[in-house]
Each structure stands twice: as C-alpha cells, then as structure tokens.
A and B are shown apart, each in its own frame.
Chain A
Amino acid sequence: MNSTHSTNLEGVGELERFRYDDKIVKAFVLATIAWGGIAFLVGLLAALQMADHRFNFGVSWLVFSKIRPLHTNAAIFAFAGNAIFAGIYYSTQRLCKTRMFNDLLSKLHFWGWQGIIVSAAVTLPLGISSSKEYAELEWPIDLAITLIWVVFAINFFGTLARRRERHMYVALWFYIATIVTVAVLHIVNSLAIPVSFWQSYSVFAGAQDALVQWWYGHNAVAFFLTTPFLGLMYYFIPKAVNRPVYSYRLSIIHFWSLVFIYIWAGPHHLLYTALPDWAQTVGMTFSVMLWAPSWGGMINGLLTLRGSWQRVRTEPILKFFVTAVTFYGMATFEGPLLSIKSVSSLGHYTDWIIAHVHGGALGWNGFLTFGMLYYLVPKLWNTKLYSDRLATQHFWIGTIGILLYIVAMWTSGVTQGLMWRAVDETGRLVYPDFVETVLRIAPLYWIRALGGTLFLFGWVMMTYNLWMTIRLAPRQVEEPEFAARRLLPVASEALGSTWHRRLEGLAMPFTVLTVISILVGSIFEIVPTLTAHTYVKPSDQVVPYTALEQAGRDIYVKEGCYVCHSQMIRQNHWEVLRYGPASTLEESQYDRPFQWGSKRTGPDLARVGKKYPDLWHFRHMIDPRSVISQSLMPAYPWLVDQKIDFKILPKKLEVMQSLGVPYSDDMVTHAERDARAQAQQIASGLLADSPVKNLEERNIIALIAYLQRLGHTTQAPQPPPEASSEDHKDQEAGTSKVHSAREGGES
C-alpha cells in the first residue's frame, strides 16, 4: 500500500502520542438522538394542526403559529446542529491526527449549545420571536449563539493549527466554509436595536430586511444543512465503504463553485415581489447555476460506492447513506427548478416548498445523520450494533414515511397553486374563495401526518437499537493511544505540485479565500439594496404606523401570523385579481421586521385593511369559524384577555425614530396617550359584543388597528372621532398627506 507516503518525511519533527476526545463526540451523539425525537414529535403536532384545527387545543403556546418556528428551529439547530458537531468533532480529530484544541472549549460548546436550544424551546412558544425565519430567537439568545459559535471556531481552528496531517482533506474545507459563513450570516441578519430584554427591531426595513433575511435563510440551508453535511458525507461514506473518493478534482471544483455561487441565491425566495427586478434576476440565475456544483457532491458521494453496490443490499448504514445522497441530488435539482421565475410563481407560498425542504431535511439531513449514528455508536462504545435487522426496518419505514410526506405535499402545492391562478373565459378567478382552495388540499394533510408518524416511528426504532447497543457494550476502557510526527513548517513549494494542493496545506489562506468567496455575492446584493428606499418618490412616501398600530403589529409578529399569511401581492395577474394592486417597495419601507411571509395557509393580508368591519376581525380572532365556517385557522381568544403594553410605546417609537422612521418628538412623547385614544375609539364600536370589560386595553384592539391599516399606507388610518361618514369618504379619496397619522389619534 502506498498510503504511508502521504506525509513527506521532510519537515516532520518528533513522534508525539495523543488520544482522541471521544467523550465529547458521545455527548453530541446523545443530544442528536434526543433532540431529533423532539423535533420530529413537534413536527407531527404541527402536521396534525394543519389537518384539523382542534389540535391547536386553544392553548396560546401550543398554537400552530408558535409550534412551527419551534419545529424548524429544533430540526435545524437542535437535531441537525448536534449531528454536525458530533460528526465534525469525530472526523476533524482523526483527519488532523490530533485531539481537539481544548477540552474546556469543547465542553463549553456542548453545554452552551444545549442551553441555547432550551432557551429557544421556552421563548418561541411564548411568542418571544423576531419572526425572521430560522432566526426567530431574540437578541439576548442571538448574542449567546454568537459567543458559542466563536468558542466552536476557536476550538476548530486551533485543532487545524495543531494538525499532524500536512494537507486538509475535503471534509475539512466544508467545515471551514460552514463555520465562517454561518458566523457572517448570523451576525448580519441579527443586527437589531433592543426595545426591551425580550424584543428588538431589525436595523433593516421592508425590502432590505426581506433581502437580508433570505440571504440568511437560504444560506442557513446552504451552510448549515448542506456544506457541513457534505463534509460528513466525504468522511463517513468512504470510511463506511472502504473505497477511495471518486474524484479529487471534482471535489475542488464543486467546493469552490458551491461556496461562491450559493450565497447569491437568496432572492429566489422573493420572485415577483417588490424587491427590485435586478436582484430577483441575479437570485434566479445563480440558483440555476447551483445545479451542477450541487450534483458534483452527489456524484462524489454515489460513485465512491463504485464496485461495492452489492453491499448496499445488506448493510443498513450504506442504505441510509446512498438514499441520503440521492435525496440530496433530488432536492438540489428541485431547488434550481423552483428558482425559475415562472415555476416559482406556481410553487411559492404553497406546500410544494414544504415538500422540497422535507425532501432535503428528512431525506438528506435525516438519513445521513441516521447512517452516521449507526456508524458512530458502535465505534464509540467499542461494540457491534445491537440489531442490523431493526436498522434495516428503520430504513424502510423512514423511506416510506418520507415518500408519503413529499408526494402528498407536491400534490397539495401544485393543486393549490393551480387553483389560485385559475381564470375563466370571462376573466374571473375560478376559485375566488380562498378557503375553497384550502379545503381541496386538506385531505393531503392527513397523508402528510401519516408520513411524519412513520418517520417518527423509525426514530423510536433507532433509539431503541442504539440504546441496546450502548447498554450491552463492554465497560469502557481508556481511549486508545495514537502516535504521529509533529509537522514542522516547510516552504509552500514543498506542499504540492499544484496551487490547490499547496493551498490545502495552508489553513489560514484557505479560510481567507473562502471568506472572500462568500463576501463577493453578499456585498453585491446587499449593499445596493440598502439604499433602495432612498429612491422612493416623495409622492409615494408612506405614513408611519400610529403607536397603537405599531403595538398591534408587534402582536401580529409575536403571535406568528406571518407563518400562514403573507403581506406581499406578487406581480402576477391572478394575485392582483384576488388581492388588489401588486405590493410596492415603499409600502413596507418602515416595516421592521418585514412581514412578506413565505407560506399562505391563509390568504394574503397586504390589503386586508378596511375590507371587513372591526367586528368581523373581532369575531374572527375569537373564533374564525363564526365568520368562515370551514376555516382551518386556529382561534386566538387570548387576545381578548391579554392587555396592551401602553407604557412601552414611547420607547418603541423612539427606537423606530432612531432608525429613521419620520416620527416627530411630539409623537414619541405622546405615544401612550395617542394609542389610548385610538384604542378607545375602536373599542367603542365593539363594546356590545365584548365578553370583557375595559376592551380598549386588550391586545385584540391593537391588532385590529394594525390589520385595518394594511394596504392603506399613504393616508391617515383613522377618521377623527367626530367626523361623519361623508368626511371619511373625502379622506379616502382626497389627498392623503393632509391627515397625518398623529392628527387621527389626537383629535
């Protein structure tokens, strides 16, 4: 075997002895298993809530709009996150022939991360949320994430610096890209000004916020669910199958093209919206260009099994790995497809996207993790897997579960997308009632829930199998000792014959080059967008929310309304027919955070203001089925019980003012008084139907004020109390700037 010559004898020092830290790997492995169960269980609850509203149980912290962020955060950061760390800590030590840099940092990383997960599990159901998808956690937790990520980075790069292997293997390249990019994404997207310990306003507004959020959101998929898992694939598949990686040069070209191109793709979440056209075009085309780089990883994963395919029939670990990479290939074909503008116009806001992400999350991330766990647990506990048969059964049950899930959601998404756009020969919508399109797909939600149940059951089988494996393992002896020679510095020419081979020996320049690759697209897209609002014509300027409307908006955010309702009428004719004129850039220019949404389980709300009377909203919030008998929406009766926090309103307006929203000092000072006056006015029209006293102090009043304002951005939202309906009419038709937001509240 020629393998012993991989390290040049020249440039090595004395022989050093060391042990790997497998304790920390075990801890991350156990955490992965435990959080996986919770993520899947919460997902199943959410699936049931979609199928039947009664699964919301009328409990404010169990309602779908709180559970869905909990599910996504648990799946991404708790389950996949711990899996990544387990795999990285295991493989990095072995690929670098050294123990992790510092045991204390490893422990701090582990416990810090678990603490963050627990705080997420507590705060999200309570509605403490910034509403930015996959980044919902509020600023104190964001700071903790930053701190722990830095701990991880120091620990990882410290390990790289102490490595006893001259070159970095491709898995390590992907880990490097993950660590630096997640840091950049998290910090930029979380920039916010605190209002209180539990709330903050994004420094970005409207279209900027949307762009930054989906630059983050898409690259959370790219650099948290793709690059680290590709790294794990590059380590665990060759190890499990004992075959060389298919193509070194393919790994170079697909790594660099992937990290360079991925970062540009975010705007494909915002096609046909009010985001400037050029950004949408760039987002779409770069997504299309991602197809080949993504498939490069799939080729290297699958073709590494060349000549060993018969083993897939008998070895459950390989079954999981091969299926995971196949799902990766499928999801990374579907992604570019969905990014094409015309395809997005059909699929966006529908369950097609849900099918797409679960193909990736359950198939690629889930199955790769399960394969890795079945590989790691016997190795770490120095034993054999308790039952190969049970693992094989887990594989089949899980696969059937995923297929039921995604086929149901594909069908649902395409069905609803086609119903939304159907126009008859007289130019009318064929399905003008939104609820009609929901009822058509509701049966598919049961099939999805069945798929999820099977996937969860597979997890139970795996947990039992791994638990028995650990229980029957021999008492642990000391971790084995290894020895390798220390590396001494050498001239870069000695590192290899090609420039890239030399780069693989230089951790710092490699990292810097990776950072540059991801910054190019980021700067190109974000920087021009930051100035987009300065181009809004003075005649199009919008009036900021009144203090009460802002309070209502914050309730809208905290209750998670954006989970099911968009506020973005896209530039498609069927959207205009259904919801009114397409949304414009300036309409959300003061919105922090933006609320364009990403899924329509209910209709778009961008122009819902004044479409229905206050009483309609009042009854609808308390019991949606009292006004729309077939509605799937959960009831929000607690809005009538909870009280508006009037005292904090001056502070809220002050923060908004500091961010550039044109509130006068007077409006800030009198925010509380103005809000109370407006609340009194709305409540007076609802008193006859109110189950409680002091209705004017309740959250529902603020929420109604906000909802009635949506789509009416260039005029005062409230007629003066003494105004007759004729005056009101003049106000609607006439020049808007005369009635400033404040006059409405004060008069």
Chain B
Amino acid sequence: MSDEIKNPEIQPNLILDDEKAMLLNHNYDGIQELDNPLPKWWQIIFYGTIVFTVLYIGYYEFGGGPSLRQEMESDLARIEAMRPKNAGGDLLAAVQSALGDAAVIAEGQASYAGKCASCHADQGQGLIGPNLTDYHWIHGDGSAGEIYKVVADGVADKGMPPWGAVIPADEMKSLLVYLLSLRGQMRAGKPPEGVEHKPN
C-alpha cells in the first residue's frame, strides 16, 4: 500500500535467481520468506529419532528389557567375581615377611599420609581417631590380623570408615607394615584408650 509510511531503512531483500519461484508473498517489517523444502538429511534425523524412540521405549518399557537396577546388579556381580579369593590369608603372610623393611614402611607411610593422617594425625599420635603409637587397642589386640580387620571393615560406631574395598592389596600390605612399625613408639598425643596388649 503506497499510503503507508514505511521505515526508510528497509532495503529490498537480495533474492537469488534459483529462489525466485520459492519466494512467498510474506512481508513483515521488510522480512520476506522463502519456502525451501525440508533438507533430506534433516528429515532422516527427524524421522530416524522418532523411530529410535518407539523402538527404545518398546524394548525397555514393554519388551522385557532390563531395568537400570538389574543392569547395575549384574555389573556388581561381575565386579564381585573379579575379587581375588582368600586375599586376607595371603596378605597376612606377605605382611609378616615384610615386617621392618624400610622401603615397605616408607610406602606405607605415604599411603597413611593420604588416607589415615586426617584422623590419626601425621605421626600416628591420634587426633579425631585414637593414638596408634601406644600399646592400647580399642578394637582387637593390635595383631596384624586384628588391625587388618579394623582397617578393612571399619568401625561404623566410631566413624572409622571401611577401607577394604578402597585400598588395593599391595598398598594394604605396606600400610599394615607401617602401622605395625608404629606400635610402642609412644608419641605424645591422644592419651591411651582401650585395653593394653603388649606383644610377647
């Protein structure tokens, strides 16, 4: 309509030769529209994902597909089967043969610093958890086997976390060797707790 006052800034759109047939009779503030067909590859994605949805929902919701919990449980069973059997027995034998070995103690000290020191203090003198350098033990008698039990299974009541699933066998060995080396160092820290078990 020639009587309208149009924005003088509106320029005619650039229309390419192959587009002239597709130009629609639309004009909004100077914006025109072509009517290009939907690209083939776009349609493949569009309809392909719809087909995928039907198949996926069909299998998992109606076709007997496993639930998330079932998938997790079979993964956990697979993990359980990977666990070495009789790790405890082999471990204690390895600990016995490495007692006092300075290199193993140093390894154990490094892993102690990362995992244990936050509660038992840097020198084993106790902080949140008990002092490990005296002969007093709250749980067990301070033997390698009893210490392993506490480290591996934890003491839920006292806030000692179970480390058995966390610390690999090698590291557990050196850690136990280090802990056994602490016994009787009598470092100043938390006062003794529990029952005294002096080694024979």
Across-interface contacts of B81 in A (CB, < 8 A): 427
Q: Which residue of A lies closest to B23 (CB)?
A: A244
Q: Identify which of A302-310, A364-372, A549-557, A637-645 touches chain B.
A: A302-310
**Shortest CB distance A473–B (Å):** 16
Cross-chain contact of A485 among B1, B23, B27, B76 (Cβ < 8 A): B1
Q: Within residues 42 to 69 of chain B, which ones have a CB less than 8 A from any CB in chain A?
A: 42, 45-46, 49-50, 52-53, 56-57, 60-61, 67-69
* B26 contacts A481, C-beta separation under 8 Å: no
Q: Which residue of B lies closest to A300 (CB)?
A: B36
Across-interface contacts of A245 in B (CB, < 8 A): 31-34
Contact A272/B68 with A282-B57, A285-B52 known, Cβ cut-off 8 Å: yes
Query: Given the complex of chains A and B, what is the CA–CA distance between A15 and B111 in angstroms?
Result: 86
Q: Within residues 14 to 35 of chain A, which ones have a CB less than 8 A from any CB in chain B?
A: 15, 17
* B49 contacts A572, C-beta separation under 8 Å: no
Across-interface contacts of B67 in A (CB, < 8 A): 277
* A243 contacts B76, C-beta separation under 8 Å: no
Q: Identify which of A215-223, A523-531, A607-615 touches chain B.
A: A607-615
Q: Which residue of A lies closest to B119 (CB)?
A: A616
Cross-chain contact of A613 among B34, B45, B158 (Cβ < 8 A): B158
* A619 contacts B128, C-beta separation under 8 Å: yes
* B50 contacts A289, C-beta separation under 8 Å: yes
* A483 contacts B3, C-beta separation under 8 Å: yes
Proximity string of chain B (6-21) to chain A, C-beta cutoff 8 Å, 1 when within and 0 when not: 1101011111100100
Q: Which residue of B lies closest to A275 (CB)?
A: B68
Q: Which residue of A lies closest to B12 (CB)?
A: A1
Across-interface contacts of A169 in B (CB, < 8 A): 26, 28-29, 31
Proximity string of chain B (141-184) to chain A, C-beta cutoff 8 Å, 1 when within and 0 when not: 00000000000000011110100011111000000000000000
Across-interface contacts of B42 in A (CB, < 8 A): 250, 292, 295-296, 299
Contact A4/B12 with A247-B34, A249-B37, A289-B53 known, Cβ cut-off 8 Å: no
Query: Given the complex of chains A and B, what is the CA–CA distance between A93 and B78 in angstroms?
Result: 64
Cross-chain contact of A293 among B27, B46, B80 (Cβ < 8 A): B46
Cross-chain contact of A286 among B15, B26, B53, B84 (Cβ < 8 A): B53
Across-interface contacts of A15 in B (CB, < 8 A): 3-4
Cross-chain contact of A307 among B4, B16, B82, B84 (Cβ < 8 A): B16
Across-interface contacts of B29 in A (CB, < 8 A): 91, 94-95, 97, 169, 235, 239
* B128 contacts A6, C-beta separation under 8 Å: no
Query: Given the complex of chains A and B, what is the CA–CA distance between A3 and B29 in angstroms?
Result: 10
Cross-chain contact of A627 among B5, B31, B118 (Cβ < 8 A): B118
* B128 contacts A427, C-beta separation under 8 Å: no
The number of chain A residues with a CB under 8 A from chain B is: 92
* B61 contacts A278, C-beta separation under 8 Å: yes
Q: Which residue of B lies closest to A94 (CB)?
A: B29
Query: Given the complex of chains A and B, what is the CA–CA distance between A462 and B12 in angstroms?
Result: 30
Across-interface contacts of A572 in B (CB, < 8 A): 72, 75
Across-interface contacts of A582 in B (CB, < 8 A): 69, 72
Query: Given the complex of chains A and B, what is the CA–CA distance between A272 and B114 in angstroms?
Result: 31
Query: Given the complex of chains A and B, what is the CA–CA distance between A3 and B36 in angstroms?
Result: 18
Proximity string of chain A (624-637) to chain B, C-beta cutoff 8 Å, 1 when within and 0 when not: 00011100000000
Query: Given the complex of chains A and B, what is the CA–CA distance between A427 and B1 in angstroms?
Result: 78
- The reply on B194 being an interface residue by CB < 8 A is no
- The reply on A112 being an interface residue by CB < 8 A is no
- The reply on B103 being an interface residue by CB < 8 A is no
Across-interface contacts of B7 in A (CB, < 8 A): 94, 480, 482
* A277 contacts B60, C-beta separation under 8 Å: yes
Closest 10 CB pairs of A and B: A613-B159, A292-B46, A427-B82, A432-B166, A244-B32, A6-B27, A573-B75, A247-B36, A169-B28, A285-B53
Beyond the given pairs A281-B57, A485-B3, A572-B75, 5 more chain A to chain B contacts, judged by CB atoms under 8 angstroms and listed by A's residue number, are A242-B14, A257-B46, A289-B50, A428-B166, A572-B72
Q: Which residues of A are interface residues toward B (Cβ below 8 A)?
A: 1-7, 9, 15, 17, 91, 94-95, 97, 165, 167, 169, 235, 238-239, 242-251, 253, 257, 272, 277-278, 280-282, 284-286, 288-289, 291-293, 295-296, 299, 303, 306-308, 336, 341, 379, 423-429, 432-433, 480-485, 571-573, 576-577, 582, 610-616, 619, 627-629, 725, 728-729, 732
